[in-house]
Structure 1
Amino acid sequence: MKYTIFLLFAVLMFAKYSSAQECPIKCAIESLINQKIQSSVDVTVSSFLAKTELICTTASARGADAHCPSGHKATGCACGMACGSWDIRGETSCHCQCAKIDWTSARCCRVGIVG
């Protein structure tokens, strides 16, 4: 029984110290690989973002609803008659919530790719 416990202890100690000695080399290689991958991703993302721009326009309409052009999302609204209560419906339309609104305006944006 004592022999079995001693053998188990010896195997565990060997496993601990052998993995600790491997790690500096193994960890250094993994770290270099991770840095190379991250660098590649950073370059790709940066070059893509440099080619994008936010394109915005304003859509206005009489009444309580204004709709954005195709491909645009509503980012904010304005209402006539000093109404400050509005909501965005379906991501593409502005709706003013006050009664008898004379006009509604929607700020509409999309992400564009610069040629």
Structure 2
Amino acid sequence: MKAAVFLLLTLLVPAYHTGAQCITDNAVDLKVQAAISSIGYKPTACACGMACGSWDIRSDSTCHCQCGGIDWTAARCCKIGLE
């Protein structure tokens, strides 16, 4: 019986804690949502850390650096409008 209870606890406790998220993670998620929610803006150029000069724009909305170990990425965005 003790083994069954121990087994049950080892299965349930990690499942409970896997959904926990740090305050820092929540702040980063909010910053990302604010950055990608700019309606009408499209990336026109990118810059990557670690001296990476190889990048592309994916899905018409995301800067993608093509080097490994990138520590930062920046995008130059312009407002797109038709008159």
Q: Identify, as 1 or 2, the structure richer in helix.
A: 1
TM-score, normalised relative to structure 1: 0.37
TM-score, normalised relative to structure 2: 0.50
**Larger Rg computed on CA atoms:** 1
Q: Identify, as 1 or 2, the structure richer in strand.
A: 1
